[in-house]
């Protein structure tokens, strides 16, 4: 392996030349130009320092897979980012290394007490060759919030993004060129000290891996049926539902298998005796209902401590509100639309369906962006959800088109964070 250490002025891979060419750049100006806030809780003197980043390139680069063969999360690029932390010394020098196993003690706290969190982002290649990430500042903010919930250390989100940009630049050839494709980015943060006992970790590892992915629906949108589960719950008040913790996901597998046995693709997570709607599988939830006056209302459950503050959720709300206020009108949306973050339960879904006022229901998330729903299995029967000819509904389709247009660079937006040009 060949190793390169960056200078104190922070040199980085050029964005337009080959992987082996370098140029100097000033960190501070790039931070300000990207307009991403610094995490207030990060301790600057002991924080992640991109100027200390080292790069060790693989001597055995893998063959790039055919884009048509890509399955989500099955193929990984040549390199990964690793940053260790200890209570005694703070954040160590970041390193980009060949993708490979991580050494852990059998007594590592992550293995016994689930001190683990992660994020999901994507890098997109535009037609002009520019590579961008979509609103990564939101992911950095949420990652720090999740870390605080697990008593893991805070970090400077700007600094981590600088290191991630180096990783993506190095493995830029892994970003598929075909429409609808992207490079999925998975930052992960785990407690690693090898001592038994439930306590704040004294050692931790933050690492980032990337994976080329194709479109979630390669053959067009296919609405999914949901099981309105009353047997299991995803989250409860005061719990960890609002954080992207690994421990929130494994318990959902049994519930998902149960839904599949009954002919449903995923669970519609309900809460309380009133069966309030919370999330769809691992996605945020939106319902569209016309009120008694014929006004279309776009509804999503509020961030009450049980709901994960999804980046796509926030983006859908922002686009819909900009349309409603006239800041930017979206073709296809009704002229008058009400955007609500409020509780909604199965009683309201059923009543609006019976009265012909239920317009659509869909999930949102990084992987699929938008997932339409065509029916909900609930208390022994099915509630039918209207869908359009192409599988999507009249509200989700223009919102999806605007989001994807922004992500792919067809629509200019300050939500795009430039990685390379």
Question: For residues 290 and 94, what is the distance between their CA atoms, to the nearest angstrom?
Answer: 52
Q: What's the whole-number mean pLDDT along residues 133-148? A: 98
Is pLDDT of 373 > 80? yes
What confidence score (pLDDT) does residue 218 get?
66
Question: For residues 94 and 119, what is the distance between their CA atoms, to the nearest angstrom?
Answer: 18
Q: What are the φ/ψ torsions at residue 180 (nearest 5 degrees)?
A: 85, -5
Comparing C-alpha atoms, which of 225, 363, 223, 349 is closest to residue 275? 349
304 burial type by CB count under 10 A (0-12 exposed, 13-18 middle, 19+ buried): middle
Residues in Cβ contact with 32 at an 8 Å cutoff, skipping those fewer than 6 apart: none
Structure tokens at 44: 């600057």
Residues in Cβ contact with 405 at an 8 Å cutoff, skipping those fewer than 6 apart: 411
- The larger pLDDT score, comparing residue 207 to residue 42, is at 207
Q: At what angle do helices 136-149 and 157-170 cross, to 10 degrees?
A: 120
What confidence score (pLDDT) does residue 73 get?
84
Give the dihedral of Cα atoms 184, 282, 278, 382; nearest 10 deg.
Answer: 130
Q: What's the whole-number mean pLDDT along residues 108-128? A: 96
Q: What's the whole-number mean pLDDT along residues 133-146? A: 98
Where does the pLDDT of residue 7 fall: very low under 50, low under 70, confident under 90, or very high at 90 and above?
very low
Is pLDDT of 4 > 60? no
Where does the pLDDT of residue 220 fall: very low under 50, low under 70, confident under 90, or very high at 90 and above?
low
Alpha-helix residue ranges (DSSP H) falling in 222-345: 252-261, 311-325
- The larger pLDDT score, comparing residue 43 to residue 264, is at 264
Where does the pLDDT of residue 216 fall: very low under 50, low under 70, confident under 90, or very high at 90 and above?
confident
Query: Taking all residues of the chain, what is their mean pLDDT, rounded to a whole number?
Result: 89
Percent of the chain with pLDDT over 90: 82
Is pLDDT of 3 > 50? no
Alpha-helix residue ranges (DSSP H) falling in 25-135: 27-34, 109-113
Chain segment 184-193, per-residue pLDDT in tens: 999 999 999 9
Question: For residues 383 and 228, what is the distance between their CA atoms, to the nearest angstrom?
Answer: 10
Torsion sign (Cα): 35, 302, 236, 396: negative
Q: Are 354 and 202 in contact (CB under 8 A)?
A: no
Is pLDDT of 282 > 60? yes
Structure tokens at 142: 């949420």
What confidence score (pLDDT) does residue 421 get?
86
Query: What's the predicted TM-score (pTM) here?
Result: 0.87
Angle at 157 between CA 83 and CA 2, to 5 degrees: 35
According to DSSP, the residues that pair with 259 across neighbouring strands are none
Question: For residues 222 and 227, what is the distance between their CA atoms, to the nearest angstrom?
Answer: 16
What confidence score (pLDDT) does residue 390 get?
87
Is pLDDT of 13 > 70? no
Chain segment 34-89, per-residue pLDDT in tens: 343 344 444 434 799 999 999 999 999 999 999 888 888 899 999 999 999 999 99
What confidence score (pLDDT) does residue 151 get?
97
């Amino acid at each position: 392996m060949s190793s390169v250490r960056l200078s104190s002025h922070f040199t980085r891979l050029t964005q337009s030349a080959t992987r082996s060419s370098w140029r100097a750049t000033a960190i501070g100006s790039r931070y300000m130009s990207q307009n991403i806030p610094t995490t207030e809780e990060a301790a600057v003197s002991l924080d992640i320092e991109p100027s200390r980043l080292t790069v060790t390139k693989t001597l055995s680069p893998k063959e790039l897979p055919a884009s048509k063969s890509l399955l989500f999360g099955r193929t990984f690029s040549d390199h990964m980012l690793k940053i260790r932390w200890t209570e005694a010394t703070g954040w160590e020098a970041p390193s980009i290394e060949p993708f490979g196993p991580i050494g852990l003690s059998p007594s590592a706290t992550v293995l016994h007490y689930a001190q683990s969190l992660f994020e999901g982002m994507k890098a997109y290649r535009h037609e002009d060759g520019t590579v961008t990430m979509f609103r990564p500042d939101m992911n950095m903010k949420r990652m720090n919030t999740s870390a605080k919930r697990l008593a893991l250390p805070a970090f400077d989100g700007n600094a981590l993004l600088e290191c991630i940009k180096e990783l993506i630049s190095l493995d830029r050839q892994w970003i598929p060129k075909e429409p609808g494709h992207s490079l999925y980015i998975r930052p992960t943060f785990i407690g690693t000290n090898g001592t038994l006992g439930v306590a704040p970790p004294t050692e931790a590892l933050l690492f980032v891996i990337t994976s080329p992915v194709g479109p979630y629906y390669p053959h067009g949108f296919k609405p999914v049926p949901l099981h309105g589960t009353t047997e299991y719950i995803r989250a409860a008040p005061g719990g960890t539902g609002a954080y992207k913790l690994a421990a929130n996901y494994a318990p959902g597998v049994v519930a998902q298998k149960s839904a599949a046995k009954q002919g449903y693709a995923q669970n519609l997570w309900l809460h309380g005796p009133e069966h309030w709607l919370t999330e769809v599988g691992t996605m945020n939830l939106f319902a569209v209902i016309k009120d008694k006056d014929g006004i279309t209302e776009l509804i999503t459950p509020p961030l009450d401590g049980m709901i994960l503050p999804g980046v796509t959720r926030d983006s859908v709300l922002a686009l819909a509100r900009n349309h409603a206020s006239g800041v930017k009108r979206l073709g296809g949306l009704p002229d008058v639309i009400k955007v609500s973050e409020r509780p909604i339960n199965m009683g309201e879904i059923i009543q609006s369906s019976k009265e012909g006022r239920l317009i659509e229901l869909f999930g949102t998330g990084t992987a699929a962006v938008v997932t339409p729903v065509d029916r909900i299995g609930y208390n022994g029967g099915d509630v039918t959800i209207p869908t359009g000819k192409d599988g999507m509904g009249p509200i989700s389709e223009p919102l999806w088109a605007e989001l994807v247009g922004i992500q792919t660079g067809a629509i200019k937006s300050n939500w795009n964070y430039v990685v390379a040009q």
